[in-house]
Amino acid sequence: MDDDGPITVLLIEDDADTLEMYRLRLERDGYDVRTATDGEEGLARAVELRPDIVFLDIRLPKLDGLEVLGRLRENESTAQIPVVVLSNYGEKDLIDRGQTLGALEFLVKAHTTPVDLSEGIDEWLKE
């Protein structure tokens, strides 16, 4: 993490309204927010940017979020980036798979406001 500049957040989300809702709040709170709307783009942006934290949807076009997470963990340059899964789906098997692949947290969108994300970043970056 670069102590001299804002925290860089990569938000990988295919739903435009959801993406915009979270992006606006995070930017308003001073984060440098980058976005991707499918798994392939998200993976490429994570490798290119090496953000401080990634918020990752599960159901994504081209490459699903769990596959993205697995590939991030396999790549030496992205293996240590904290990833928080942010999904509409909270089934136990998905949560277990996300945690096995190294997700820091698994959040269900219906229970997670943009404020929750913003307020959680400092804590997640300490872990």
- What CATH number is given to the structural domain containing 53? 3.40.50.2300
pTM: 0.93
Within a domain: 35: yes
Please tell me the distance from the alpha carbon of residue 85 to that of residue 69, in angstroms, as a whole number.
9
Looking at residues 75-101, what average pLDDT do you find? 90
**pLDDT-based confidence at 94, cuts 50/70/90?**
confident
Within a domain: 1: no
CB-based contacts of 120, cutoff 8 Å, min separation 6: 84, 105
Domain residues for the domain of 62 are 8-126
pLDDT at position 3 is 59
pLDDT at position 1 is 46
Q: How many domains does the chain have?
A: 1
φ/ψ of residue 105, rounded to 5: -155, 155
Percent of the chain predicted with pLDDT > 70:
97
Within a domain: 3: no
Helices 114-126/16-28 angle, 10° precision? 60
